[in-house]
A and B are shown apart, each in its own frame.
Chain A
């Protein structure tokens, strides 16, 4: 598995596209709650998919701080590096 942020970002965007109605445009700059229309439960469930994809644990307090898809990608990369 790769730790490059672009690869992580691509994977996360793919997972996100699967979660959302077909044809929804997704990009790293989008804000998870406001632009993607996911409610708090939806966000937490999506994060569980990412945890399983990368075999990491994203703590609940960190999820609350994530604003954009890019934040999520950075968090995943840091956790993969064992920064937390």
Chain B
């Protein structure tokens, strides 16, 4: 009961802040009599959203599919990569610096590059970008989980005369699992952002990112912002799903964080 209340209370400040922010925005536009092509009112965005609901939901589906495929593929590849890097020394020595280097390149540059490599109507470059975004986060997290077990647990395993193989299977691997779910929680909203931004660089016009850039450029700012809101909802859905997954799969991880 009180736990539920505590959880709700955590959502209260952002909700109140969001409401105040939208109210101030609305008031400001009305008060200064700002033209709609400069800045639209939240109420106009809301009605534009209602008018275009079906199309926004369709676009969320297109972009969401790309993000989801990227999340799943990136997670699988990230796990595989981390296992290889941990298990085979030369792979680790090769992959770790590359991962760090590639991670430092702005993702926009990679998107621009990949988009040119594929047909104009292909969703593939977007999915590859989302995959890459998820891959690095998961790779880094799982690698850390494989390397950083608690010293006490490792000493205990040694005192139990565990072989390196047993230590890997019974301690490092399950420890990496709990880091994996944290990685997915971080990666999930990131794949949405990546999938949205990837649409800015040409290709199909049916996703959220393409619609946002399209409507904003033809001065239908209310519709464009309604699509932005759709992108936020999609990101929150991904994050919420991943957070629940983490909470259920590795409940101790959250407790460790919050301590």
Whether A associates with B in a native complex is no
Interface residues of A (CB under 8 A from B): none
